Amino acid sequence: MAATSYHFLASLYNADGVALERRVILPDWTPATESARLAALRQCRLESPIEPAEITPLWEPEKGKPFMVGARAAVKDGDGREAACEVDLTYFRAQVQVAATDLVKDGRLKDGETFQYSIAAIPNPKQLNAPQPPVGWQIQDVSASTIRGERSLQSYLAIAAEVDSEMSAAASATDIPVFIPLEVLRLAEQLKTAATEKETGGVLIGNLWRDTGSTELFLEVTALVPAKHTLESSTSLQFTPQTWTAVAETLQRRNRGEIWCGWWHTHPAQYWCKCDEESQKKCPLGKQFFSVDDVSVHRTVFTKGFHVALVTGDIPKAEGGWEMSHALYGWRSGMVQARSFHAVSGKYEEEMR
């Protein structure tokens, strides 16, 4: 839960700067709050950050109040130690897009027309609670009990190969290390092949560890649980309440103390793309991506700061044809963004067991 003493307003303008709409918005502060809570566990060893988190505006330096450049979500423990997450105006894009859609319906904005927006914060004497996650989803609490124990981060890094290592150093520094066994990646490829032209998916389970030599946390994926009771097509995958129940039952049967680490799904792009071989190299469908629908699933169900999403998709080969590729996404500054991960050999996993 988050609390703020401000109302937030979104103002939309056309490409020429003409004002089109101004409305109150209710941002979902859960991702920013969870990022702050994870930062607390990483940096301060806060056992149980006090809720609610406090949301405060970050003011635009030239225009000043009430115009914002972002917002800050802060959590504190009983001793007053603080950890925070700062977000920029991109964080409000979902609420702004709803307003833009209404403008299109009203004929004040053309479909596909470029627009601009600004966010303002107006003081409110009564503290407001942020919107809560939809009723029915099971949300785990990020506290000390979520951390399985201590292990050496260096021992994992020594036998792992980084994937997407071209990520910027600044981005990598803000992400907790994630380790995925090669056997999990191979299973993902096998399940994608078996599903042919349809999307398929599942849930990633594992452990959150603290490094023995520092306060750093790292995530170890131990298994991929294939999703049951889903509704799938070549361009979409819909999970159902029965899906989550089946995963919970699998965790209970395994009885290894594992937690939900995130989820996995496929993008069978070779069945979407109708380009010839030369055009495939430039086709946007031949690149890894995280769709609006994917973000919706992640933001609704996998809200914790350490939750990740693995995508196994098709990318065109230089010599023609297609090959599989894995990409990982996770929370960074309250937004779902591409990130790197480490592929761990199966032999090491056997030794660790």
- Per-residue confidence (pLDDT) for residue 269, from 0 to 100: 84
- Do the beta carbons of residue 350 and residue 338 sit within 8 Å? no
| Residue 220 zone, left/alpha/beta (φ > 0; ψ -120 to 50; rest) | beta
| Fold of the domain spanning 144-352 | Cytidine Deaminase; domain 2 (3.40.140)
Domain boundaries, given as residue ranges, for the chain: 2-129, 144-352
- Per-residue confidence (pLDDT) for residue 235, from 0 to 100: 85
Alpha helices in 66-203 (DSSP H): 93-106, 153-157, 169-174, 182-195
The span from the first CA to the last CA of the chain, in angstroms, equals: 37
- Do the beta carbons of residue 31 and residue 334 sit within 8 Å? yes
Stretch (H or E) spanning 254: helix 241-254
Stretch (H or E) spanning 8: strand 2-14
CA 55/CA 57 separation, integer angstroms: 7
DSSP state of 146: G
CB atoms within 10 A of CB 122: 12
pTM of the predicted model, to two decimals?
0.87
User: Which tokens go with 169?
Assistant: 């150093």
**How high is the mean pLDDT in each 10-residue block of the chain (353 residues)?**
89 94 93 91 66 90 96 86 92 93 93 94 72 45 68 92 70 86 96 94 96 91 95 89 93 94 92 75 75 91 95 85 91 92 72 49
CB atoms within 10 A of CB 88: 15
- Per-residue confidence (pLDDT) for residue 146, from 0 to 100: 85
User: Which tokens go with 97?
Assistant: 């897009």
DSSP state of 82: E
CB atoms within 10 A of CB 160: 20
- Per-residue confidence (pLDDT) for residue 316, from 0 to 100: 83
Burial class of residue 19, CB neighbours in 10 A (0-12, 13-18, 19+): exposed
